[in-house]
A and B are shown apart, each in its own frame.
Chain A
């Protein structure tokens, strides 16, 4: 059960953590908003526990696909010995590394008697205390990637060790079964924030000090941004507060007030996941206007023990703005250069902060090379986690998807496939790499046999991953093997019996049914949609796919004479295109659809009731006359009604053009990719 120890000061929370660990709590969490001091409190508690004889191991899980590897490497770095060697072994699998780490931790740090100041009721502290910044916890409400799973697995294994206490500092909710959770409150000490010399020197500080005296809570970051925009334009802070602008809007105002070079600097800093030094700062903001630099240093950046940091809220906002891919790539390249330099420096002179070790810089460099999609450079650095090849494969694959259909897109997909081949060369049991090698080859649509081989291998290695099954099934349908697809569907439905979390239906049933509809496999599509539980069946995509299924059924039965806008129950209550007041004058009416045009005539598919269907033929002149409009070519598929008035006249009324169903998922990749590639359509094969 979670405890909420709110409104305690930092020192009190630190003491509470120490006390609980000594009492035998093996899992603790500090939660609260970003930048409220969780990590600081955790470090202080760890230091206290360290003084009482516990072995302290610090680690962190950065945002990105490599959270698990980074956290593992940092732990191994501190444990050293054989464990470090295994973790740094290029050829060792994740599983081997994890087992080596766990084995080392099991034997590490024998239990030590309590500290001098141990409370009377305290029991012995654990041998090892592991602190984790931003740990990942398992989730059941969405699909997870292998990267998430590795991070979650690492946290889970650490937390399962009897001689290890794990303290987590998280900005997001921790699972209920994790253990006690202490909330660190946000408390902006206005005076302290504004007393920071970098802030105080800005012209807007005084005005903001007055404004902030109002009894409205403001975060330190908000205060800093207010000072910055006030500095840039007098009364800007007053205006912003009067307009009750949210923090993102304030940040936007600040960013907009900067020159282009300063904005580029912000982008470069925003990709950093660690603190950076003055040299990096200078290179990020090279060319920035002199007037911008004080704002950057004073309001945007925060000076931490490890160096400069761009707060997450600002970094996120910077990346969320319209950013050119080339600028983003440039930012990652500069970041990679910084970490390469820092790696060399820290290799010679280990830093004070364990989280800024040489290994961390090495992995950060890899992270940025992954972000750029530079497979060659990544390979040259021989990453000791196969995950980096998986991650760069993902990065390149996503670029390929974004530019699908272009040469650049195909080049990215080919590189992605290469990256996964590299991963498999190191670890042939990497289900993720098998799956995505298959997927990228599937998008390229050149080597379908390899596609099937790797999809099936991924399933064999990790049958519990629903994407592996779903993509094999859609591949088989695309390849014209519906019976094989149906057999694979039986397998997957047996493996994931109902009920399943909602995301599973979205990841499996949605794309499978959509492709089946696209290929006119209506009975199969009905089976897939029929397997949806009520909650998934009510989702917009499912309703939309069902609507399409009904229309295609009508089409298959050659009975398509009403637009989708007319519900089946209302169909024969027409004519729908005649004013209700005039309906008494209608002798007969037919629902219809333009079916085809040939050189002479237009064919109209018509029905007089739900059971009586037929056709009529009109020349263009006849159609124009009956429509009562100027000469117009009505397109195939247009719905209409033919009305015969009691006076004997006949008229045709057109339904409005149908609009696309916004909830209908797109078919991706295009189902005909294997038909449009391969042999060139230029010469007969005589």
Chain B
């Protein structure tokens, strides 16, 4: 049923991607029953990450939690999740990942919407920093190449490079503008010889982030599924990462970013580029309203979604948790299975 979250499949690696228009949450369950949560999203004050973990009764099985980068749209509901899975009274906490130091605006924005999102980022940072201090063993510094076990799977940090981090820190320390997507933490999940890449918001331009990843390990391109980086923006799509590969089908999952009108649907941009490789692209939601939002997933041709002219784009009518999700299930063999939640969209060629 599209209105409910799918059942657990004990022998499969399951990756649940949420993206209700603003924000992105990736939840990975690796057999036998270990969990990882990356980033967060929310509607109002409902934390999708926390609700998902509660739904599956998995609080005590969460092993890894990370904020891929401290951007306003990725921190929604994150602090609540950390607070719940790493309570003071619990003797064991998951590893908590964060690129630190992180940039702080240093002042409260007069725009209440920006101020609210900044506040939630700060709370997310505080929730991890405080716990690192109290139990240093929970620190996951997320250096490139760092590998952690997640059940039968392994999670490896692909980015950013030390040089990229240094550039970012220097910019933050000097209060210079910097595209923080350059230091987003992309992760690779390996399970029974198969790879999934969680691209976070890592961009190729500027900073050549994906080129650096592939220099680090050429085999990253052999992924069986990609959580497409940075909402499918052209700056994040790196052709070698997307290109067809022997005996591997391509599965692309995209989360939208409504205020940036991402992903785009032109033939040679965003989803169009992905469709040149794969027959379909899976979106957790559209960056705008569609008429089957609250019901079963929509299946639509790309051309139907291309430029909407100067008319205004009405919001996705997010019916509330659990919505706007796509689950990617990986068996030990065979192609990945995709399950769609309400609000999600399958975009096909043509």
Contact = CB atoms under 8 A, between A and B. Distances in A.
A121 to B, nearest CB: 69
A685 B143 contact: yes
A553 to B, nearest CB: 8
Interface in B107-146: 108-117, 119-120, 122-131, 133-134, 141, 143
Given A555-B113, A674-B130, A681-B169, A598 B315 contact: no
Contact of A482 (B79, B110, B129): B79
Contact of B100 (A481, A522, A605, A679): A679
B119 A518 contact: yes
Interface residues of B, number: 61
B261 interface: yes
Nearest to A601: B261
Interface in B67-117: 79-80, 82-84, 87-88, 100-102, 104, 106, 108-117
* Chain B at the A interface: SS class: helix
A606 B169 CA distance: 36
A646 interface: no
Contacts of A675: 102, 104, 122, 125-126, 129
Nearest to A650: B310
A617 B109 CA distance: 22
Contacts, number: 156
Contact of A614 (B112, B169, B310, B314): B314
B147 to A, nearest CB: 15
A481 B127 contact: yes
B288 interface: yes
A616 B134 contact: no
Interface string B283-308: 00000110000000000000000000
A6 to B, nearest CB: 56
Contacts of A681: 101, 169, 172-173
Interface stretch (A185-193, A352-360, A391-399, A589-597): A589-597
Interface in A532-573: 548, 551-558, 560
B161 to A, nearest CB: 9
A616 B115 contact: no
- Which one of B84, B162, B259 has the highest number of Cβ atoms from chain A below 10 Å of its Cβ? B259
A616 B79 contact: no
Contacts of A522: 45
A449 B80 CA distance: 21
A590 B139 CA distance: 48
Interface string A664-677: 00000001101110
B313 A615 contact: yes
A553 B115 CA distance: 12
A606 B83 contact: no
Contact of B126 (A479, A556, A606): A479
B116 A685 contact: no
Contact of B108 (A518, A554, A596, A674): A518
A480 B106 contact: no
A427 to B, nearest CB: 29
A555 B133 contact: no
Nearest to A636: B111
A613 B44 CA distance: 15
A615 B119 contact: no
Interface string B161-178: 010011001101100000
A675 B173 CA distance: 13
A482 B104 contact: no
A522 B106 CA distance: 21
A294 interface: no
B120 A520 contact: yes
A684 B165 contact: yes
A448 B130 contact: yes
A684 B131 CA distance: 20
B143 A686 contact: yes
A606 B100 CA distance: 36
A593 B42 CA distance: 21
Nearest to B125: A675
Interface in A631-686: 636-637, 658, 660, 671-672, 674-676, 678-686
A483 interface: yes
A587 interface: no
A519 interface: yes
B22 interface: yes
B347 interface: no
A629 interface: no
A520 B118 CA distance: 9
Given A518-B108, A682-B170, A671 B314 contact: no
A222 interface: no
- Which one of A551, A560, A615 has the highest number of Cβ atoms from chain B below 10 Å of its Cβ? A615
Contacts of B288: 614-615
A85 B299 CA distance: 90
Contacts of B127: 480-481
A285 B127 CA distance: 58
A304 interface: no
Nearest to B173: A681
B303 to A, nearest CB: 20
Interface in B26-67: 42-45
B116 A520 contact: yes
A99 interface: no
A604 B106 CA distance: 25
A683 B165 CA distance: 8
B315 A614 contact: yes
A478 interface: yes
A484 interface: yes
11 contacts: A480-B128, A521-B123, A548-B112, A553-B44, A555-B117, A603-B259, A615-B288, A671-B122, A674-B129, A683-B166, A685-B141
Interface of A: 448-449, 478-484, 518-523, 548, 551-558, 560, 590, 593, 595-596, 598, 603, 605-606, 612-617, 636-637, 658, 660, 671-672, 674-676, 678-686
